[in-house]
Amino acid sequence: MEPLPAADIADLLEQISSAQRRDLLHLWSGEIDGEILSEIDESIREEVIENLPRKVLTDAVRELDTDDVVDILEDLEEPQQEIILGALEIADRVAVEQAMSYPENSAGRLMQRETVAAPEHWTVGEAIDYLRSAEVLPDQFYHVILVDPRMHPVGNVTLGRILSAKSETRMRDIAEEMFRTIRATEQESEVAYLFNQYHLISAPVVDGSDRLVGVITIDDAMNVLDEEHEEDILRLAGVGEGSLSDSWIETAKQRFPWLFVNLLTAILASGVISLFEGTIEKIVAVAVLIQTLVIGLTTDARWDARWNPQGARRSANGWGPVLVVIFALFMGVGSLTGGLAYVLQRFFGGLG
């Protein structure tokens, strides 16, 4: 499975049964890395972690950014959390524990602690020298965050502007016009809205004193947006928050109340339709009217382009279709008016 991307390997682990997953991890556990672990669905992630050797789990977790580690820890029981925290280096463990101290579903848990910041008075040349000499940089970042002496974020500079500017250019002179900071206590849903509304790529996160504590990137914000959309669709369908590991009995229990309500409303609707069956048959003429209008008012050129593209003879219908449309219009309006009058008469007559 080595040529497969991490997301595809995670999908494979999610689709097979629990027994097959356990056997596969026993044979192939040495190839599980941090990227695969972060891609696995949260409903089976704990099971996968339990079946991984301690060394494999340790190596996989150390590859992850702090936001991915926090995302994994949120879905685990305390014993598994301690195993993962114990595998981290001291600095990373402190950062993860600080992130876990923020409220659930907040920006503090969504952010990554690894940031690239520079003093606002630096030049482009100084920033490039710093980036080249830094021992550790995030694997992916989009902006250099400008900060004042108190570590307050004051602007963002994209990597593209840094590379295209002259070395003596001040960093603050090429900062982006659109700049927003996010409170660490802000709700994830509000963060996703800000990214979507203002087309943000990344945004610095600040604490109660407006000091820089992390950064949120667009991939994390879009994950939140996708999860919210999925939850909304599931609620509309009456499915609830099911998971891949749920048995068919549990799934049936979740769906039965909503399906039962749908059955009752369908029975009620069929009863109402049966009471006004005759009226509905008359109103069907409205559908015929609309279709006739569309066909009759279609120009000859458009008609030939759609229905007679290969024909040697071009259409030339003249006034015939127009007269048909006028006749259909009178018939449709009459049927509609009569149908509505009949329904209103029956309704108010029944009330009387």
Q: Tell me the per-residue pLDDT of 3-54, one tens digit each, with 9 for 90 and over.
A: 788 889 888 888 888 888 888 888 887 788 888 888 888 888 888 888 888 8
Over residues 280-290, mean pLDDT: 58
- Any idea which architecture 1-101 has in CATH? Alpha Horseshoe (1.25)
Q: Are 150 and 120 in contact (CB under 8 A)?
A: no
For the ranges 6-15, 23-32, 94-103, 271-280, the lowest mean pLDDT is seen at 271-280
One-letter amino acid identity for 343? Answer: V
The CA-based dihedral angle spanning residues 283, 285, 291, 295, taken in that order and rounded to the nearest 10 degrees = -150
Average pLDDT over residues 296-305: 61
Beta bridge partners of 155: 146
Is the CB of residue 167 less than 8 Å from the CB of residue 125?
A: yes
Point out the least confidently predicted range of 110-114, 155-159, 259-263: 259-263
Query: What residues does 187 pair with on adjacent strands?
Result: 106
Please, which residues have CB within 8 angstroms of residue 239's CB and are 6 or more apart in sequence? 254, 255, 258
The partner residues of 143 in beta bridges, in order of sequence, read 158
Per-residue pLDDT band for 308 (boundaries 50, 70, 90) equals low
Helix (H) or strand (E) holding 147: strand 143-147
Q: Strands 202-206 and 212-217: what pairing?
A: antiparallel
Q: Which residue has the higher pLDDT, 306 or 198?
A: 198
The residues, any chain, with a CB within 8 Å of residue 191's CB and separated by 6 or more, are 107, 110, 182, 203, 216, 221, 224
* 146, 156 Cβ separation under 8 angstroms: yes
Q: What is the mean pLDDT of the chain?
A: 81
CATH class, range 106-244: alpha beta
Residues constituting the chain: 352
Residue spans of alpha helices (H) in the chain:
6-15, 18-28, 34-39, 42-50, 54-62, 66-73, 78-87, 90-100, 107-110, 124-133, 159-164, 188-198, 218-237, 248-275, 277-296, 300-307, 320-351
Q: What is the pLDDT of residue 180?
A: 94
pLDDT of residue 119: 96
- pLDDT at 124 > cutoff 90: yes
pLDDT exceeds 80 at position 100 = yes
What pLDDT, on a 0 to 100 scale, did the predictor assign at position 128? 96
